[in-house]
Structure 1
Amino acid sequence: MELAHQPEVVTLGCRLNIAESETIRGMIAGRDMVVVNSCAVTNAAVKETRSAIRRARRRRPGAEIVVTGCAAEMDPTGFTAMPEVSRIVGNFDKLAPAAWGATAMPSPVFAGHARAFVEVQNGCDHRCTFCAIPFGRGPSRSVPAGAVIERIAMLVAGGHREVVLTGVDVTSYGGDLPGAPSLGSLVERILVHVPALERLRLSSLDSVEIDERLLEALTQEPRVMPHVHLSLQAGDDLILKRMKRRHARADAIALVARLKAARPDIAIGADLIAGFPTEDEAMFTQTLAIVAECDIVHAHVFSYSPRAGTPAARMPPVAPMVVRERAARLRAAADAHRGAWLASLIGSEQSVLVERSGDRGHAANFAEVRLTAPAPPGSIQRVRIACATDTYLEGICV
């Protein structure tokens, strides 16, 4: 088959999209098709989706261009009107074999990827005032534990040594299933029933939904990676209330203190928004300070952008120039904190999952590590850290 006629999947946005893209890839085998799995978390994400569609048409002038994902779900008319687009597939049909002309849904294989992503939950029952994703993903829905375990077992048998559990609101897992099993109980079952799985990682967690069972798994299970990414969004209580978040500033700080006390090497990540409507300088300063107070070393900083139909879009806005300036200050603070953390790891030994290039990977704490000599992709190496930059570590396999 000519390369130009091989199917292609372009993935934007979250880890859940990555997991779904691999399933889609298996259903379009043999087709001259490009699938753009879109994102709508910000206006910039929608703009990037449109750019990806145009690039795909220039690259593959004869291919069928199919758009799926949240951006297509939320604005089907707009994307259908693009001359580059052949058709769209809504989020609720994106894993249906019939939507792709397939007879069955294959198991994703994540060929060439060091880690595999497994969807355990989709949708969201909460309505944060800034977020449009519930409109694109619908209500929370959980994958039964048996199906999750079966998929992970197949991935491990296929050579994957690390699996990431993904979803839109992963910590709400199980509320819609018989007996309402928790995410913590799912993690326990995975570890028991897939003993060959070496590394388990969780995607973004809502701090208010981390119960004692999940906390114990995160801090006591050596096969669960010492890396927690929290959906914090802000560090000021009034802004959190206006966002309709369910935690307070003190709750986030207390949770991180408990995590650190039980597992000192745990690395904290967080999503943070700069320039939310009504945010003044004092409120922003509270978010700026929480980087250090919660020891956030993996920060995802977003400039607030209004999403049509959300309550926050009707709130008094912060001037765009101020939003950009605050986002830059927040990123600078997060980068400085991350740099100091990386420097503190010089001389340590880290367990690194080597990625496809063979010359880099990620440690258990999700620090990026670059190797002085290539190692087999997909292998887990003990690496002695020799030096650090502001963004990654360098080391040698031992």
Structure 2
Amino acid sequence: VQIQTGCDHRCTFCIIPYGRGNSRSVPVGSIVRQIKALVEKGYREVVLTGVDITSYGADLPGRPVLGSLVARILKLVPGLMRLRLSSIDSVEADSELIAVIAGEERLMPHLHLSLQAGDDMILKRMKRRHLRAQSVEFCDQMKQARPGIVFGADLIAGFPTETDSMFENTLALVDDCDLTWLHVFPYSPRPGTPAARMPQVDGNVIRERAARLRAAGQRRLSDFLAGQTGATITGLVETPVLARSGQYAPVRLEHESRPGEIIDIHVTGTGPDYLKGRLAA
């Protein structure tokens, strides 16, 4: 369910604001009605999406924030079994959002973070609004508030002017923030953006750095999946032989189940990027 579109920020690598304009939020009542209608049709999980969902509400009367929207959805749609957030800017996470993440089990324990880099100078040149230490602090805070929560993240390899040492700071962020699900983007210039006019990194270096980030992400993912083996988890069946855990892990099922059901799964093993499991007794 789309809750907003557009973006008020002007990151130097991004073309989206030029195409979609400033942030525009969908009123709370409209979002709640959409979700109620989906639940009445049998949907068990809803994902709140947008370009910059943590900016939600700044353009609406009363300036509701994302946390209050999430709390209102969960209160007014008690039949919704699972709610998930698409991607958030951690530095904009409001106190109500942090509270609902900590206290509401129907909000899935998985956050995808728009981090982009782990070096303060590169973050400044990207015109991001956070520092490296703030990313690490946010992840530590969330792990204390919601044990078992997992993080995904967007990271850009080879942003203009990125030196070897700057890249190493980003690479170390994978461990420092305990990231599990990585989206790695080799930098490519977007015409008309400020970053396209900065000194560029050699393409071979960009590809090598992206490969190292992906390898670090795969290592973290393998460790996470291995830690699930033997556990009993809850999954939403997406296809007859595939479910999705609350922590976003795909689970390949030994026996077919009905799509849309929420089932208890005994994890029996792992694949490269998925769990294996059977219906728990």
Q: Above 0.5 in TM-score? A: yes
Pairs within 5 Å for 1:312-327: 312-327=195-210
Alpha-carbon distance, 1:388 to partner: 1.1
Alpha-carbon distance, 1:291 to partner: 0.4
Matched residue of 1:119: which SS?
Answer: coil
In the alignment, which residue of structure 1 is the partner of 2:48?
165
Q: Which amino acid is the alignment partner of residue 128 of structure 1? A: C
Match of 2:139 among 241, 245, 256: 256
In the alignment, which residue of structure 1 is the partner of 2:87?
204
Matched residue of 1:258: which SS?
Answer: helix
Matched residue of 2:161: which SS?
Answer: coil
Give the Cα–Cα distance (whole angstroms) in 2 for the partners of residues 379 and 137 of structure 1: 37
Alpha-carbon distance, 1:264 to partner: 1.5
Q: Which amino acid is the alignment partner of residue 331 of structure 1? A: R
Give the Cα–Cα distance (whole angstroms) in 1 for the partners of residues 208 and 189 of structure 2: 17
- State yes or no: 1:232 paired with 2:81: no
In the alignment, which residue of structure 1 is the partner of 2:274?
392
Q: Deviations over 1:180-209 (max 9, x none)?
A: 000000001101110000000001100111
Q: TM-score, normalised by structure 2?
A: 0.99
User: Is the Cα contact below 8 Å between 1:219 and 1:226 reproduced in 2?
Assistant: no
Give the Cα–Cα distance (whole angstroms) in 1 for the partners of residues 111 and 152 of structure 2: 6
Q: Deviations over 1:316-350 (max 9, x none)?
A: 00000100010011000111111011001111111
Give the Cα–Cα distance (whole angstroms) in 2 for the partners of residues 243 and 350 of structure 1: 39
Matched residue of 1:147: which SS?
Answer: helix
Q: Which amino acid is the alignment partner of residue 227 of structure 1? A: H
Pairs within 5 Å for 1:62-211: 118-211=1-94
Give the Cα–Cα distance (whole angstroms) in 1 for the partners of residues 277 and 63 of structure 2: 44
Q: Which amino acid is the alignment partner of residue 366 of structure 1? A: Y
In the alignment, which residue of structure 1 is the partner of 2:170?
287
Alpha-carbon distance, 1:220 to partner: 1.3
Pairs within 5 Å for 1:294-373: 294-355=177-238, 357-373=239-255
Give the Cα–Cα distance (whole angstroms) in 1 for the partners of residues 84 and 279 of structure 2: 23
Q: Deviations over 1:284-326 (max 9, x none)?
A: 0011000011011011000000000100000000000100010
Show structure 1 runs of 4+ deviating over 6 A.
none
Q: Deviations over 1:344-393 (max 9, x none)?
A: 111111111111x3101210000111100010011111001011123110
Q: Deviations over 1:209-234 (max 9, x none)?
A: 10111011112110100000000000
Matched residue of 2:251: which SS?
Answer: strand
Give the Cα–Cα distance (whole angstroms) in 1 for the partners of residues 179 and 109 of structure 2: 13
Matched residue of 2:182: which SS?
Answer: strand
Matched residue of 2:138: which SS?
Answer: helix
Give the Cα–Cα distance (whole angstroms) in 1 for the partners of residues 162 and 19 of structure 2: 27
Alpha-carbon distance, 1:248 to partner: 0.3
Alpha-carbon distance, 1:263 to partner: 1.1
In the alignment, which residue of structure 2 is the partner of 1:13?
none
Give the Cα–Cα distance (whole angstroms) in 2 for the partners of residues 269 and 126 of structure 1: 22
Q: Which amino acid is the alignment partner of residue 157 of structure 1? A: E
Give the Cα–Cα distance (whole angstroms) in 1 for the partners of residues 53 and 124 of structure 2: 22
In the alignment, which residue of structure 1 is the partner of 2:101?
218
Q: Which amino acid is the alignment partner of residue 260 of structure 1? A: K
Q: Deviations over 1:137-190 (max 9, x none)?
A: 111000000000000000000010000000000000000000100000000110
User: Is the Cα contact below 8 Å between 1:171 and 1:210 reproduced in 2?
Assistant: yes
Match of 2:260 among 378, 387, 390: 378
Give the Cα–Cα distance (whole angstroms) in 2 for the partners of residues 158 and 282 of structure 1: 52
Q: Which amino acid is the alignment partner of residue 127 of structure 2? A: K
Matched residue of 2:34: which SS?
Answer: helix
Q: TM-score, normalised by structure 1?
A: 0.70
Bigger RCO of structures 1 and 2 (CA < 8 A, at least 6 apart): 2
Give the Cα–Cα distance (whole angstroms) in 1 for the partners of residues 172 and 271 of structure 2: 23
Identity of aligned residues (%): 57
- Point out the structure with max Rg over C-alpha: 1
Alpha-carbon distance, 1:239 to partner: 0.3
Give the Cα–Cα distance (whole angstroms) in 1 for the partners of residues 258 and 18 of structure 2: 42
Gaps of 5+ in 1: 1-117
Matched residue of 1:231: which SS?
Answer: strand
User: Is the Cα contact below 8 Å between 1:277 and 1:316 reproduced in 2?
Assistant: yes
User: For the aligned residues, what is the CA RMSD?
Assistant: 0.6
